Structure 1
Amino acid sequence: METNNNYLQLIQDIKSRISHSRYIAARLANQEQLKLYMSVGALIDRKIQEQQWGSNVITQIASDLKKEMPRLRGFSDRNLRNMRQFYQSYSVEEIWPLLTAKLQVIDNVVDVIWQSSTAKLKATENAISETVVDDLTLRSFMGITFTHHVLLLNKCQAYEERLFYIHRAATEFWTVATLEHYIKEDLFRQNGKLNHNFDTAIHPDASLNAGDFFKDQYLLDFLQLQDGDNENEIENSIVSNITEFILKMGKGFAFIGNQFRLDVEGHEFSIDLLFYNRILRRLVAFEIKKDRFKPEYTGQLHFYLNVLDDKIKLQDELPSIGIILCKEKHDAIVQYSIRHMNTPMGVATFMNSCDPPAEIQQVLPDSDQLRRLI
């Protein structure tokens, strides 16, 4: 039996080494591809500028490359234009010195472009340690595929927004589809914008910023709500689409259950949705409200969080967090309601596919104003 166990352990060790080696090989191959695409994009851009060619020459380049290398893949007219855009977009950003100096992304041919500004580049390199761009940023940049980068270039105009998604995609191993989903959700602007009391209710020694794990508004486009639908129907719809809901919530969440029962001296209470966040090491209770936020909702959630911490939370876990998910809210009312609560909680809104976009909602009257008008 001991021999068999040793043999099984050997198989597991070999599998682990194979998987690790494949991961390293794939990562290095992706880095080399990004370097190649950046250098090709730079070379094309330089020649077009020098020779004053029109951009239609890229179509001819793609055709001639195909003739010279019939089995070549990834160098179509469209992809060559993407490579040029890739170079143009980042050659003017603060990450550029790292791409050239530290990873030698651009080959000797492309370095000619910068010969006239060597002094400026050297000065920039010396200041790298004083900028927000660091090795982590560079690793993230090289840690996603060219397809990820093309999507970001086409969907996000601001460099800071692209950098946000690059870091999240690289560190959380997002697929292209997942990245596209979060861009559609506008995670960049929603992330960390939740109205909460975490600054006072969570111990300041906590190394993680809990606010970064929640959004101010959740797009629940799988909901098809009617005017008569109640909170139970919203909850059931979320549970039926729990995988999609967890994706919208973000990193580290695991679903524990709905209508999670709490017993206090023989009296039963139910939490609408209960999750656990593995990164925060906290239980997260969601209470669903179909109408506008009301101050009394915080008292109910405060009660649930206290019971969770006393009866459900494990000894090595941190205090629970509560989120009220409602249809509408006024930020001032939310802040007055949660300011002096000693249990960590926040208030977010949800929007479904039947709702108008956020920029339209901002200029429309809310439900109370509509009632007064009617």
Structure 2
Amino acid sequence: MSDIINYKNAVDIIKTAILQSQYRAAKAVNKEQLALYYSIGKFVSENSREGTWGTGAIETISQTLQKELPGLRGFSASNIKNMRQFYEQWSILTNRQPAAVEIQSPENKDVINTTQLLDINRQPMAGDLDLMDFFALGFTLHMEILAKTKTLEERVFYIHECAAMSWDKYELRDMLKADLFHHQAQMPNNFLKTLPKKQQALRAIEMFKDEYLLDYINVEELGVRDSKDIDERVIENSIVQNIKNFIMTFGKSFTYHGHQVHYDKMGHDHWIDLLFFNRELRSLVVVELKKGAFKPAYLAQLSLYLRILDDDERLPGENPSVGIILCRDADKAYVEYVLQDYNKPMGVATYKVTQDRLRELLPSEEEMKRLLVANDRDNDNIDDENKVD
């Protein structure tokens, strides 16, 4: 039996070494590819933007490249244009070099220098952008970020989170869709007051958002006329069926422990909606679902659950349990006011479902009426003109 344990330990050590090596190799490949694409983007930008090339030049170049290099991938016309965009958006990397650092470039403009991006030897934006994070991402991930963000701060944020959390393309899209950047560290909470370590409190504040998009809950499929009428248990069941998606809205450090977890305390039954464990916080995390707006009574209920978990489930070395109320609406200022009297770490976030997002995209009832009146007026004018004719 001891031999099996030793072999298992050996396998884990070797597997870790392999994965680390693969990760370093992938980063090296990313770095070379990004340097190549950046340089090609610069070359294409200088010639296409300044009018050196005629219309359709990029399409012709792409087709010719693929004929002369059969099997070549990644050089379609649209991807070459992406390389141009990549250069134009990130030329700030080389333009912010100090005077003492001279980037060597060929005298001949028609020669592509593929080392320009690699020659950067310091963080060019006063620590805002970590170059290790930058080069850890592949070109596809970079283009996802460039296409769906507007500011440098947003891009730096998603680059760092993507590298730190090892998101793939689909996970990154989910985070961009949920607008993680604008919802980070906005959730009303009492973590700084109630968690024993400041670093842990700051991590918890950073980890949770003030709003979550549960777009995998389809109101129409549930047979509910109005998304506000969804029962809490229906939402919970939908989350459980899509637990991987739900965990990804929080982060990869969460482990699912169960739903409707039962505790008998002094002859009284208690049922926790959703229970997780977070490895970074080293804490059990309770998520309580509420179908309506926030009520102060929800915090009292959650505080009791956290007390029970700390008494009955918390292991030596683990931090205090953390609780999140997830409801439809919440007045942040009011929530923060009510939270002051609680000594258990808690926060209150809101959620949206698919139908809510559709409502945001559609005109309001008043706007629809205004448009209909304007349309009727235009039709009447057209009829009057036809009568004149």
Q: Same fold (TM over 0.5)?
A: yes
1:338-357 equivalent positions in 2, closer than 5 A: 338-356=339-357
Partner of residue 172, structure 1: 165
Deviation at 1:11, TM superposition (A): 6.8
Specify the alignment match of 1:223 in structure 2.
217
Structure 2, unmatched stretches of 5+, are 111-119, 367-389
Q: Counterpart of 1:372?
A: none
Residue pair 1:43, 1:109 contacting (<8 A) in 2 also: no
Deviation at 1:61, TM superposition (A): 2.0
Q: Which residue of 2 aligns with 1:22?
A: 22
Measured at CA, do residues 17 and 309 of structure 1 come closer, stay the same or move farther in structure 2, by a change above 3 Å?
A: closer
Match of 1:286 in 2: 287
Q: Distance in 1 between matches of 2:53 and 2:156?
A: 32
TM-score scaled by structure 1? 0.82
- 1:223-302 alignment to 2 at 5 Å? 223-225=217-219, 226=224, 227=226, 228-302=229-303
**2 CA distance for matches of 1:58 and 1:241?**
43
- Following TM superposition, by how much is the alpha carbon of 1:26 offset from its aligned partner in structure 2, in angstroms? 2.3
Question: What amino acid does structure 1 have at the position aligned with 2:127?
Answer: V
Q: 1:326 offset after TM fit, Å?
A: 0.7
Determine the structure 2 residue equivalent to 1:132: 127
Q: Once the two structures are superposed, what CA deviation does each residue of 1:22-46 show, in whole Å capped at 9, x if it has no partner? A: 3332221121111110111112212
- One-letter amino acid of the structure 2 residue matched with residue 194 of structure 1: M
Q: Distance in 2 between matches of 1:65 and 1:306?
A: 66
**Residue 304 (structure 1) shift:** 1.2
2:105 paired with 1:108: yes
Match in the other structure for 2:387 = none
Correspondence for 1:190: 183
Work out the CA distance in 1 between the residues paired with 2:16 and 2:310.
38
Q: Quote the residue 2:43 is aligned against.
A: 43
CA distance in 1, matches of 2:324, 2:295: 13
Structure 2 vs 1, CA of residues 132 and 112 (structure 1 numbering), >3 Å: closer, same or farther?
A: farther
1:352-371 matched pairs, under 5 angstroms: 352-356=353-357
Inter-CA distance 309–5: structure 2 relative to 1 (3 Å threshold)? closer
The structure with the largest alpha-carbon Rg is 2
**CA–CA distance in structure 1, aligned partners of residues 312 and 365 of structure 2:** 44
* Per-residue CA distance 1:274-303 (angstroms, 9 max, x = gap): 111111111111111111111111111111
SS of structure 2 residue aligned to 1:284: strand
1:61 is the counterpart of 2:61: yes
Distance 1:48 1:29 in 2: 28
Paired AA for residue 85 in structure 2: Q
CA 55–338 in structure 1, closer or farther in 2 if over 3 Å, else same:
farther
Residue matched to 1:158: 151
Give CA-to-partner distance per residue, 1:128-187, whole Å, 9 cap, x none. 5881235xx101111011001111111112121111111111111110011011101111
Mapped to 1, the partners of 2:314 and 2:2 lie a distance apart of: 39
Q: Structure 2 length as normaliser, TM-score? A: 0.79
The total of aligned residue pairs comes to 349
Measure, in 2, the Cα distance between the counterparts of 1:350 and 1:110. 57
Pair 1:131–1:112, CA change in 2 (3 A):
farther
In the aligned structure 2, how far is the partner of 1:296 from the partner of 1:7?
53
Supply the AA of the counterpart residue of 2:105: N
Q: Report the 3-state secondary structure (helix = DSSP H, G, I; strand = E; otherwise coil) of the residue aligned with 2:81.
A: helix
Deviation at 1:126, TM superposition (A): 10
1:58–1:224 Cα change, 3 Å:
closer
Contact map agreement 1:326 1:350 (CA 8 A) in 2: yes
2:139 to 128, 142, 146: 146
Specify whether residues 233 and 313 from structure 1 end up closer, same or farther in structure 2 by C-alpha distance, changes over 3 A only.
same
Matched residues in 2 for 1:21 and 1:166: separation?
Answer: 21
Q: Partner of 2:379 in structure 1? A: none
User: How far off its partner does 1:241 sit?
Assistant: 1.6
CA contact (8 A) 2:93 2:124 kept: no
1:117 aligns with: none
Cα deviation 1:204-251 (Å, max 9, x = unaligned): 533552111111111111223425542222222211221111112223
Partner AA of 1:284 in structure 2:
V
Check if 1:212 corresponds to 2:206.
yes
Quick check: 1:88 aligned with 2:88? Answer: yes
Give the secondary-structure state (helix, strand or coil) at the position aligned to 1:286.
strand
1:322 equivalent in alignment to 2:327:
no
Deviation at 1:107, TM superposition (A): 7.1
> Which whole-Å deviations, capped at 9, do the CAs of 1:236-275 have from their partners, x for residues lacking one?
2211221111112223111111111222222221111111
Letter in 2 for 1:64: T
Contact 2:325/2:349 (CA < 8 Å) preserved in 1? yes
Q: CA 1:98/1:282 → structure 2, altered by over 3 Å: closer, same or farther?
A: farther
- Deviations along 1:53-87, whole A, 9 cap, x unmatched? 34632222222322332332211111111001000
Please state whether the residue corresponding to 1:262 is helix, strand or coil: strand
State whether residues 259 and 273 of structure 2, in contact with CA within 8 Å, keep that contact through their aligned partners in structure 1: yes
Report if aligned partners of 2:288, 2:326 keep a CA contact under 8 Å in 1. Answer: yes
| Partners of 1:94 and 1:133 within 8 A in 2 | no
Contact 1:90 1:96 in 2 (8 A): no
- Counterpart Cα distance in 1 of 2:189 and 2:265: 27
Superposition deviation, residue 16 in structure 1? 5.1
